[in-house]
Amino acid sequence: MNQINWEELKQAAISAMKKAYAPYSKFPVGVAALVSDNRIITGCNVENASYGVGLCAECGLVSNLYTSGGGRLVAVVCVDGKGNFLSPCGRCRQLLFEHGGNEMLFMTPDGPTQLSKLLPWAFGPADLK
């Protein structure tokens, strides 16, 4: 695994954010991730007139992970419409945990942090055994 280029990830997240479909909230979100095979994948939020069925950017990211070959999420950057770092909601923290685990790094305004700090004592596949 190469060094993580956080600026490249942030720029990919900003590009994804610009493609978001957010006509109701006017709150576009973009996300980018480094995958275990060194690919960079992205996602953006997609709203719906029936608000509850909107998709967070991280949902698109995880879908992109699998449609582009699978793997594990290594590092993730999420941004708002101004390019500021954005914290994932609880549901999305769970999605990221499933596909990146405790060690996955997430960029915060204070720098990269492990997902285990954002989602302590996470529930996952091992709990179903």
Q: Which residue numbers are catalytic?
A: 58
**For the chain, give me the number of helices (H) and strands (E)?**
4, 5
Q: Are strands 105-108 and 73-79 parallel, antiparallel or unpaired?
A: parallel
Give me the count of residues in the chain. Answer: 129
- Which pLDDT does position 2 carry in this prediction? 57
Block means of pLDDT (10 residues each) for the chain, 129 residues, are 88 98 97 97 97 95 97 98 97 96 97 96 91
Rg (CA), the chain: 14
Q: Any residues with CB less than 8 A from the CB of 94 and at least 6 apart, and which? A: 119, 122, 123
CATH code 3.30.70.580 for 6-117? no
Domain segments of the chain as ranges: 6-117
Q: For 95-120, how does the pLDDT look when each residue is reduced to its tens digit (9 = 90+)? A: 999 999 999 999 999 999 999 999 99
